Amino acid sequence: MAKILVVTSGKGGVGKTTTSAAIGTGLALRGHKTVIVDFDVGLRNLDLIMGCERRVVYDFVNVVNGEATLSQALIKDKRLENLFVLAASQTRDKDALTLEGVEKVLKELSETFEYVVCDSPAGIEKGAHLAMYFADEAIIVTNPEVSSVRDSDRMLGLLASKSQRAEKGEEPVKEHLLLTRYNPERVTRGEMLGVEDVEEILAIRLIGVIPESQAVLKASNQGVPVILDDQSDAGQAYSDAVDRLLGKEVVHRFIDVQKKGLLQRLFGGRE
């Protein structure tokens, strides 16, 4: 049986789809057969970040409605043998997904894949609830700002009360915290919450701190998951997060202010 992993947050624009693409790709890189499912009906972006937007013929809603089979709708990644994408519909209403339909598709995916990564829409509406309902584990993506952390706390409450595991009285969804767009220099200036502040508020295990990086935007524009850019700090940080997700002990990087060398101080060079 597959492990169903939801990537969620209360707030939009925190990097959920970037994270879903990076985590899914990272799991596939480590030999796990993985599918990333876009739950954001009407606003799909996962296919763009994965670089497969021109190959979408059938989508998640088509499969739920019986208009296509999973094998017709699944898009195989061109870079990795064991990575697949199930795109969201761009033209349907957000109510096109149903609990029964989602359950049927996830059960079928679970027979073939080791990991099903659910890329959740923002907020607490139906799509987000469906994305988290069947989850075994959850990655809560948050920015180091008060409103984002507060919204993430709300999502933790929903995971604890509205998931299938909660309703059945089973072991709770395993929760992980991923902090994105982190800038240590802004933290020292008091413009941003620090890692410890966020950990203290949310009180869940931190699996990654992704630094603010131009590499993320560049990778998204190129249709390449940023984790494949192993020269970038963001790519390395996502790789570390995948290792921690799989149970490895990895020291956190990119959370302290980097001391600049003499040449960088003189010429304003970047790290």
Classified as helix, coil or strand, 206 is strand
Average pLDDT in the chain: 92
138/9 Cα distance (integer angstroms): 10
Binding residues for ATP, as ranges, are 11-18
Q: Which of 224, 257, 247 is nearest to 25 (CA)?
A: 224
- Which of 21-25, 37-41, 60-64 ranks highest by mean pLDDT? 21-25
Show binding-site residues: 11-18
The pLDDT value given to residue 266: 56
- 126: domain CATH number is 3.40.50.300
pTM: 0.92
Mean pLDDT value across residues 53-69: 94
For 216, half-sphere exposure in the C-beta direction (CA atoms, 13 angstrom radius) is: 22
Tell me which residue range forms the domain holding 178.
3-268
Query: How do residues 159-212 score in pLDDT, each as one tens digit?
Result: 999 999 999 999 999 999 999 999 999 999 999 999 999 999 999 999 999 999
Number of domains composing the chain: 1
pLDDT at 135: 97
**Would you state the pLDDT for residue 127?**
85
Provide the pLDDT confidence category of residue 1 given band limits of 50, 70 and 90. Answer: confident
